[in-house]
Amino acid sequence: MKIRQDLSIGENLRRFRDRAGLTQEQVAAQLQVMGLAVSREMLSQMERGKYNIRVSELKGLKEIYKVQYEDFFEGI
pLDDT in tens, 5-63: 667 899 999 999 999 999 999 999 999 999 999 999 999 999 999 999 999 999 999 99
Nearest to 65 by CA among 10, 18, 9: 18
Q: What's the pLDDT at 1?
A: 67
Q: Is the pLDDT of residue 2 over 90?
A: no
Q: What's the pLDDT at 12?
A: 96
Residue 76's pLDDT band, with cuts at 50, 70 and 90, is confident
Q: What's the pLDDT at 47?
A: 96
- Residue 8 sits at the vertex; the CA angle it makes with 27 and 39, to the nearest 5 degrees, is 25
H or E, element range at 24: helix 24-33
Residues 6+ apart with CB under 8 A from 33: none
